[in-house]
């Protein structure tokens, strides 16, 4: 554990290193539960950092577009910053305006990405782990109920980073937790990710309106630019004249994953052909948000002075579907008192 800088209010951030015997390692801070660095080997055996971010805490506090952080209480967008639960309407911050249409995004003005987590490092036979805990108070960011959250990061012996989420509440409340790492398998700071080959185990997706809110439909991907059931490069169809791509400026869509049985199953694979790095994403979640870094502007200077261009990284955010509190036909996200939310996602690396 090392210091990662101080926040404006004098709180010292800590950086924890989790590593296995192969040298695969993750560096995680207790501010926002952020994955600051993630080192995986290329086909020549060379370690490289494959996530975007900043060298110090100051960058994350000042300007981060959710690099590497825990997202909650509800990940993704909620239409008009409102939902109704048990006859009561709850009003949330409208902190995002895609297409000029206000909505609530990623938990609000101070979501889980901007809070301090209680951190407990540990080791086991596989490698290093870090357990993070946070209590979100009743009314925080407009949400009901005291919510106790635990997020456990574990580096495993097969070069994977496993993330286990748990949550309990004393009042019914929506919960949708995820991680928002931006990957570039050629290495952070490398050119845009358009040449990465993506496969998604999803036969359907949830089309959005101009405000990037799902319309309520679960639509087959067949014969659309959203069909990644066989590998396609991210850039292959990203600029096609398609309404959905125009709304988002590329991909920023939820994919409905094919049959789940409760155990972590393959949701996505991504191959970067030059380095040979292969990322497999396994999850228990019903959906994954594929985001192609459309809103990166080329104005952020990240780690090692690298300026991150548009589409300089991609995200695969495992999740329940966006706007689920307002969408009765989507998998529910309401956590009830006495129940425990369990969710697992694994980012596993190899080479080809």
3-state secondary structure of 352: coil
The conformational region for residue 294 under phi > 0 = left, psi -120 to 50 = alpha, else beta, is: alpha
pLDDT for position 261: 85
Residue 317 annotated among the catalytic residues of the structure: yes
| CA atoms in the 13 A half-sphere facing the CB of 193 | 35
- Stated pTM of the model: 0.97
Among candidate residues 182, 231, 224, 228, the one with its CA nearest the CA of residue 207: 224
Question: What's the CA gap between 257 and 251, in Å, rounded?
Answer: 16
CA distance 311 to 96: 19
Q: Exactly one of 27, 272, 285, 317 is catalytic; which is it?
A: 317
DSSP secondary structure code for residue 248 in this structure: H
Active site residue 19: no
The mean pLDDT of the chain is 97
User: Contact, 291 vs 272, CB < 8 A?
Assistant: no
The token pair at 344 is 């697992």
Query: Per residue in 265-303, pLDDT tens?
Result: 999 999 999 999 999 999 999 999 999 999 999 999 999
Residue 204 belongs to domain with CATH number: 2.70.98.10
Q: What is the domain range of residue 158?
A: 2-351
pLDDT tens digits, 105-156: 999 999 999 999 999 999 988 788 999 999 999 999 999 999 999 999 999 9
Count of structural domains within the chain: 1
Exposed, middle or buried by CB within 10 Å (0-12, 13-18, 19+), for 146? middle
Q: Choose the catalytic residue: 180, 253, 306, 320.
A: 180
């Amino acid at each position: 554990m090392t210091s990662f800088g101080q926040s404006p209010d004098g709180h010292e951030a800590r950086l924890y290193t989790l590593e296995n015997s192969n040298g695969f390692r993750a560096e995680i801070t207790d501010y926002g539960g952020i994955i600051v660095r993630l080192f995986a080997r290329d086909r020549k055996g060379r370690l490289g950092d494959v996530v975007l971010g900043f060298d110090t805490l100051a960058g994350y506090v000042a300007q981060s577009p959710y690099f590497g952080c825990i997202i909650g209480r509800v990940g993704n967008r909620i239409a008009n910053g409102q939902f109704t639960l048990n006859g009561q309407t709850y009003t949330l911050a409208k902190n995002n305006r895609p297409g000029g249409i206000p909505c609530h995004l990623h938990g609000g003005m101070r979501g889980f990405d901007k809070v301090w987590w209680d951190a407990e490092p540990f080791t086991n036979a596989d490698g290093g782990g870090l357990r993070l805990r946070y209590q979100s108070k009743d009314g925080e960011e407009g949400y009901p109920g005291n919510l106790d959250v635990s997020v456990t990061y574990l580096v495993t012996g097969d070069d994977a980073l496993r993330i286990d989420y748990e949550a309990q509440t004393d009042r019914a409340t929506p919960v949708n937790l995820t991680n928002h790492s931006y990957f570039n398998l050629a290495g952070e700071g490398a050119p845009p990710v358009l040449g990465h080959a993506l496969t998604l185990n999803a036969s359907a997706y949830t089309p959005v309106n101009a405000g990037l809110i799902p319309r309520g439909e679960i639509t087959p991907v067949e014969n659309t630019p959203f069909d990644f059931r066989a590998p396609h490069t991210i850039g292959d169809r990203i600029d096609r004249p398609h309404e959905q791509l125009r709304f988002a400026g590329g991909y920023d869509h939820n994919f409905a994953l094919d049959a789940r049985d409760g155990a972590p199953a393959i949701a996505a694979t991504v191959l970067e052909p030059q380095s040979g790095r292969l990322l497999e994403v396994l999850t228990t979640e019903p959906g994954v948000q594929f985001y192609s870094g459309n809103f990166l502007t080329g104005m952020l200077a990240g780690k090692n002075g690298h300026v991150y261009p548009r589409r300089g990284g991609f995200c695969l955010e495992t999740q329940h579907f966006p706007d689920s509190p307002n969408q009765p036909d989507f998998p529910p996200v309401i956590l009830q008192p006495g129940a425990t939310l369990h969710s697992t996602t694994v980012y596993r690396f190899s080479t080809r």
